[in-house]
Chains A and B, each alone.
Chain A
């Protein structure tokens, strides 16, 4: 029988050699780049059409998001119902999402049905009609959904903290409102669609068990579309940081609230900055996993919250270092205090080798677990490509994990974990 008082020997994952499976890249006749990962045993496919049609390019709030949503709600030959019915009949999921620089249309399906599905995706990209009654219903139902969400302290806190970091007019800081929905006009949607979808800039990411003729199919339906032949407009969005950095802000959203949403954040450079990958390691130690300083203190020692996390925001132009939790109403201020305490500890005391090894091993094990599904792999590549990086970003992230020293971590903590440089918000 085993000796339970001795931990079994392990191989330290920090010693592992990790590899990111290279993509296969092809180009359609009109210049659309297709990045593909052919892997996995299941006969499934995920295809993402990424358009540079996010809120970065809109001239009025909610135009980009509304265009992206409603392009599934009617073409000249199909009603919204018929479109949904078509995808659902084949057990496929056609989802869409609007982000900052980009927006996406994503298809998940069994690969045996792909030939029936691609022509309808083409219709959505070329022939969406934005019926007036669909727009009206969208406005009404989204305003209703918003009114429910505005009751939630975490929802409200998320909007405000981004507003402080970037400014209400910046793509990363703006948010929806009943007024913004009301002001959306069908002609604006059609114009946006025409410029940024029909004649837009598009990149394709494909993953799963890829049928041999898929590229030919993609070229057939998307290779002759007038995409990628016009330059995107150069749009500048100045970041306007709120002046209340470093001072506590307390908002009351619900007088009967029993918890508060705590958001603390500081501006941070994007992935191109030399500190980015090293700070990912510091972030993990600080608040990036279940064994972090923040979790161990604020959840596992004090019991103030069900979960507390820190992370670097996933933006292309400019990021932010964010700390987030929902804590009991009466312990929100105490939570904030403990967060600052943990920052101080990292600034003043070197992390010991044992703890650092745990963080490194955890990060490496985590990445290893993330590297063998086609959807995970293409997700990593998509992030790299859209951020104008290359595979060295992945390998540098591994190197950062393996080689970072306690002294370097302490230096970064002193550089970035300074309370006066953080916004501090609690919404009850």
Chain B
């Protein structure tokens, strides 16, 4: 069980404290309830660009990184379609530095034009490095648009296109900040060699006077149920044909989440998984194959993808995948197969919990979902999944009318 204390400030900032005196470090994790899904379709990539700008100086502190490094700290951040998370780790004696820096940039950024100019370029290079200059780099741009017609998950966190980032203006940046980066929209988690009493004092002192701002009310269009299969073919300068298929699944808080997660493990998690054994080892149709889901807050996607062995036709590869899906729909998995993936989950949780930083960000993310305590009931929810649940959910998910298929041809 991960123990923690929780309180809120008057301005709506939620604060959680996880004491761990076995480490000399303190971790300060600030999660903002804003992600790529909160952008407008003509101005995408903003939440992520903004994450970069959070390091360009705040109203009283010209540089975030320098004082933190001087205090012996390290930091990083990431943005997803659902959230933006900032985390730093530093010697516990110097924790006040982290409070100073995080609270000042929640109060207000410096909004430097130079910072925007540079980070626009940096993000463009990131875009190129991960998506343009890599074979198959455009796959999920295309798949998201295929699978989502209405919901903002239809665009990637990095942005729909480079031009959105290149055209970002300082006014856009200011508006974005004051709309989303408010205490009422943030969760602060402090973990490590600190005490709740200490954190209460520091939080009140540094974050207490930040204006609450208007709480951002999220009102996203719901993706209507997909009622017929969607297919796309792409040709590109890549060495191998590749197969991508995805299906709609429930939201993170849906009761089916745990069975869904276990289904991806049964199908594609490791050397003894069904797709790997049948399609890579026995039938030799794919040289690699994966099954995974996006773990998104709103209704997400479950995907199967793989590279075909040269000479194999995409239609035959798809047929073979469908055969495996038919199996899992028509026959219950064995008790020992289900036991296996539950054991894997138990093990994964134990390894993740070793790190104070992981614990801190998990606490923040579960709090974002509604209650940090959810973290402690995860394993038991996985353990309650039955072979009947797996079969029933497989039939719901792997419906051709729920599917989006991409044939990616080598030129």
Contact = CB atoms under 8 A, between A and B. Distances in A.
Contacts of B281: 80-81, 137
Interface in A83-103: 83-85, 88-93
A375 interface: yes
A40 B354 contact: yes
Contacts of A153: 133
B310 interface: yes
Given A10-B70, A144-B309, A358-B69, 6 more contacts: A8-B94, A13-B72, A88-B272, A108-B351, A291-B69, A357-B70
Contacts of B145: none
30 contacts: A4-B100, A7-B100, A9-B96, A10-B71, A42-B353, A44-B350, A81-B277, A84-B270, A88-B270, A90-B343, A91-B346, A145-B287, A148-B136, A148-B238, A151-B135, A151-B238, A152-B134, A254-B133, A259-B125, A299-B118, A302-B118, A303-B118, A305-B125, A326-B128, A361-B69, A361-B72, A362-B73, A368-B91, A369-B89, A372-B24
Contacts of A265: none
B287 A140 contact: yes
Nearest to A375: B354
B280 interface: yes
A122 interface: no
A13 B71 contact: yes
Interface string A365-381: 11011011101000000
Given A141-B288, A362-B69, A365-B71, A8 B97 contact: yes
Contact of A148 (B240, B269, B343, B348): B240
A101 to B, nearest CB: 27
A152 B134 CA distance: 6
Nearest to A14: B72
A41 interface: yes
A306 to B, nearest CB: 4
Contacts of A247: none
Interface in A1-55: 1-2, 4-5, 7-13, 16, 40-44
A369 B94 contact: no
A267 B61 CA distance: 41
A302 B72 CA distance: 26
A173 interface: no
A286 B348 CA distance: 37
A141 B239 contact: no
B107 interface: yes
Of B72, B94, B97, B240, the most chain A CB neighbours within 10 A belong to B72
Interface residues of A, number: 75
B213 interface: no
Interface of A: 1-2, 4-5, 7-13, 16, 40-44, 72, 80-81, 83-85, 88-93, 108-110, 137, 140-141, 144-145, 147-148, 150-153, 254, 256-259, 289-291, 299-306, 326-328, 357-358, 361-362, 364-366, 368-369, 371-373, 375
A259 B100 contact: no
B287 A141 contact: yes
B271 interface: yes
Contacts of A365: 69, 71-74, 90-91
A2 B210 CA distance: 12
Given A1-B209, A137-B281, A258-B133, A88 B122 contact: no
